[in-house]
Structure 1
Amino acid sequence: MFVVSGGWTFGGNAQARATDGVPAPALDPAVAVWRDWNAAYEQAMWRCDRLQELEAAVAERVDALWTVVSIPGGEETIVCSKAALDRIVGERTDMAAIRAKAEAELDARQAHFEVVATEIGYFEGLRAEQAGFARVAALLEALSGTPAVSLSGVVGKLDAVLRNGADWEDRSAFPWPQIRSAREDLMRIGRQLTPHAFFPGG
């Protein structure tokens, strides 16, 4: 005898039956989508952690991507882009040499960053992370459009919403405690009805 993710038990004659002997529906399609979402989410989070490691490795070898511009009669200003340099210098002809030097420094720092980032694999990691979270978003949308046919399926939907949102926000703020409470209530009720059932996030 074995139990599938929807919480329904199958006997030796392969006839689906619930634990109370009432015929059970087929495997919940929402649980099946949740499984795909869960695998994609775990992989995306791993890729996110990996990207942070790559960022730290790049930071150890690359100076900050900015330069300091000394404005005649003014204070020194940190410039992070040529657009920012344009706003500071404007049409001032007396700052032509300062602009040229600042642009050269920005170009050199950017070029060095790109060389190091490529060697370390940062850009590849960034693309992988973006693709991973794009898949997570697509599966979350698919899950929201998949009707649940069991408490396990409903729990799976709440689990995906909870983890997808609360992992990036204040877990103690609305609506995460309320969603977490609803998920736990459904899991408790579900286990009373089908003790051997699988519940996502349980």
Structure 2
Amino acid sequence: MADSDDNTTLPFVTRRQVLAGGMITSTTVMLENSAFAGNEAAMSMPPDPALALWREWQTAHDLTERLCRRQQRLETRLVESVGLPCVTVRLTAGKDVTVHSIEELNEVLGKGPDVAALRQKAEADFAAHQARWDAAAEETRYTVAVKAEREAGERAQDLLEAFSTTPATTLAGVAGKLDAVLREGEAWEECFEFPWPQIRSALNDLARIAKALEKHS
């Protein structure tokens, strides 16, 4: 996620995939409905704390997704109108190099006295471009959008971490835990590598169980 306090961290665009979780969510709901359909004993049991946590997490997760899409739309407009903060410098070999931070500029030029004038001009040009970006970010409320997305994401992350210490007492609660882990993991990692196929397989198993429970309810 973007950090509005670090304006030199680039590229800005698309750190997180926004993924739909409809099939997984419906599995959790299906299992919950199957457990209570015509089952007075289940209805009298205390609420599943994992399931309650999952509902709270899903609300926070959905909010994060909406804010992420909004932030990315604003970000795209900024890139198109202002351009990512950067500066192009010509090295002694005659090669032009574009850098996106002061740190990267120092790595490219070094700190020798022979490039002091070039480095000073490049730093000034970069600062001017960064100032244009910052002004446009404030004007378009991109900075506000980034802050809102970060706060919502941190809330969802706190709830996600709480799953590790929250016991599930129903199959729906187990499905909710797996749902949260899979949807969060797939948003950041390669979806076809361990452990995501295994988690997806476990959720498919639970979906099959839910269907069987519905038939016998």
TM-score by length of 1: 0.78
- Structure 1, gaps ≥5 residues long: 10-17, 198-202
CA-to-aligned-CA distance 1:109-142 (integer Å, 9 cap, x gap): 0111100011111111111111111111111112
Any conservation in 1 of the 2:61–2:156 contact (CA below 8 Å)?
yes
| Alpha-carbon RMSD | 2.8
Q: Does 1:103 align with 2:120?
A: no
Q: Does 1:186 align with 2:186?
A: no
Q: Does 1:121 align with 2:153?
A: no
How far apart are the structure 2 equivalents of 1:109 and 1:196?
A: 66
TM superposition shift of 1:107: 1.2
Q: Which of 167, 179, 197 is the matching residue for 2:187?
A: 167
- Specify the alignment match of 1:131 in structure 2: 151
Any conservation in 1 of the 2:49–2:166 contact (CA below 8 Å)?
yes
- Structure 2, gaps ≥5 residues long: 1-28
Query: Residue 147 of structure 1 aligns to a residue in which SS?
Result: coil
- Specify the alignment match of 1:150 in structure 2: 170
- Specify the alignment match of 1:15 in structure 2: none
Q: Which of 98, 110, 113 is the matching residue for 1:92?
A: 113
Larger Rg: 1
How far apart are the structure 2 equivalents of 1:109 and 1:51?
A: 21
- Specify the alignment match of 1:19 in structure 2: 38
Query: Residue 148 of structure 1 aligns to a residue in which SS?
Result: coil
How far apart are the structure 2 equivalents of 1:182 and 1:64?
A: 42
How far apart are the structure 2 equivalents of 1:79 and 1:183?
A: 45
How far apart are the structure 2 equivalents of 1:22 and 1:72?
A: 80
Q: Which of 58, 61, 77 is the matching residue for 1:41?
A: 61
Q: Which of 47, 55, 80 is the matching residue for 1:60?
A: 80
- Specify the alignment match of 2:99 in structure 1: 79
Any conservation in 2 of the 1:19–1:194 contact (CA below 8 Å)?
no
TM superposition shift of 1:74: 4.5
TM superposition shift of 1:150: 1.0
CA-to-aligned-CA distance 1:75-94 (integer Å, 9 cap, x gap): 3333333334444152324x
Any conservation in 2 of the 1:30–1:153 contact (CA below 8 Å)?
yes
One-letter code of the match for 1:142?
A
TM-score by length of 2: 0.73
CA change 1:21–1:134 in 2 (3 A) is: closer
CA-to-aligned-CA distance 1:152-187 (integer Å, 9 cap, x gap): 111111111111112333333322222122122123
CA change 1:102–1:6 in 2 (3 A) is: same
Any conservation in 2 of the 1:6–1:27 contact (CA below 8 Å)?
no
Query: Residue 188 of structure 2 aligns to a residue in which SS?
Result: coil
- The aligned length equals 186
How far apart are the structure 1 equivalents of 2:41 and 2:92?
A: 85
